[in-house]
Every structure is written in structure tokens, then in C-alpha cells.
Amino acid sequence: MPAKGWIQVNDLYCKGCELCVAACPPKVLALNMERLTPKGYHPVHIVKDGCTGCAICALVCPDAAITVYREVTKAAVPVAAGG
């Protein structure tokens, strides 16, 4: 069973560039067309189940806008943080 993950996107930084959307392996990200950030961008958010907390989104994010969490299990090894 894949690990369970979650991301938190900071509206201050997200510019809606969609690099994370394209890079996300389980394809669970999309821009939130219902909301605008203070700078006027549609921020990214999780739209369906399946986030594994792999942190690829954070790895490709040019704005360090994403914080990634992952349920601690034996199999869970941080990806981006390990470099």
C-alpha cells in the first residue's frame, strides 16, 4: 500500500506555473480555478486521493511554495529532502 501524503501550498509564493502539476507522479494536483492568491494566481491544490508525499512537486517548485508531509511508515523515505 503506497504511503499517504499531503501538501500545503503557501499562497504567498505559488504562482500557478503548473510545473508541479506536470511533474506529480500520481497526477493528483491541479490549479484551483475557484481561488486567486493575493498576487492573482490560481494556486495549486490536491484534487484527488493518491498523494504519496513523494515531494516531487516541491522538488520542481521554483517558488518553494510547497510543504510536504508523509505518514511515517517503515517504507517511507523522504525523497527531495535527501537530495
Partner 1 sequence: MATLMVPENLVYERPRSFTDAPTHYCPGCTHGVAHRLIAEVLDEMGLAERTIGVAPVGCAVFAYNYFDTDFVEAAHGRAPAMATGIKRVLPDSIVFTYQGDGDLASIGMGEIVHAAARGENITVFFINNANYGMTGGQMAPTTLPGMKTTSSPDGRDVETQGYPIRMAEMLATLDGAAYVVRRSLHDPANIRKAKKAIRIAFEVQDRKLGFSMVELLSTCPSNWNLSPVESLKWLEEHMIPFFPLGDYKVAPAVAELKI
List residues near partner 1 by CB under 8 A: 4-6, 8, 10, 12-13, 15-19, 22-23, 39, 41, 46, 51, 53, 55-56, 58-72, 78-81, 83
Q: Identify which of residues 9 and 34 has a Cβ nearer to partner 1 in the complex.
A: 9
Q: Report phi then psi at 6, rounded to 5.
A: -155, 150
Burial class (CB in 10 A: 0-12, 13-18, 19+), 8: exposed
Q: How far apart are CA 57 and CA 69, in angstroms?
A: 12
The distance of closest approach from Cβ of residue 36 to partner 1 in the complex, given in angstroms and rounded to an integer, is 13
| Cα 58 from Cα 55, distance rounded (Å) | 5
Rank residues 32 and 46 by Cβ distance to partner 1 and give the closer one: 46
Minimum CB distance to partner 1, residue 67 (Å): 5
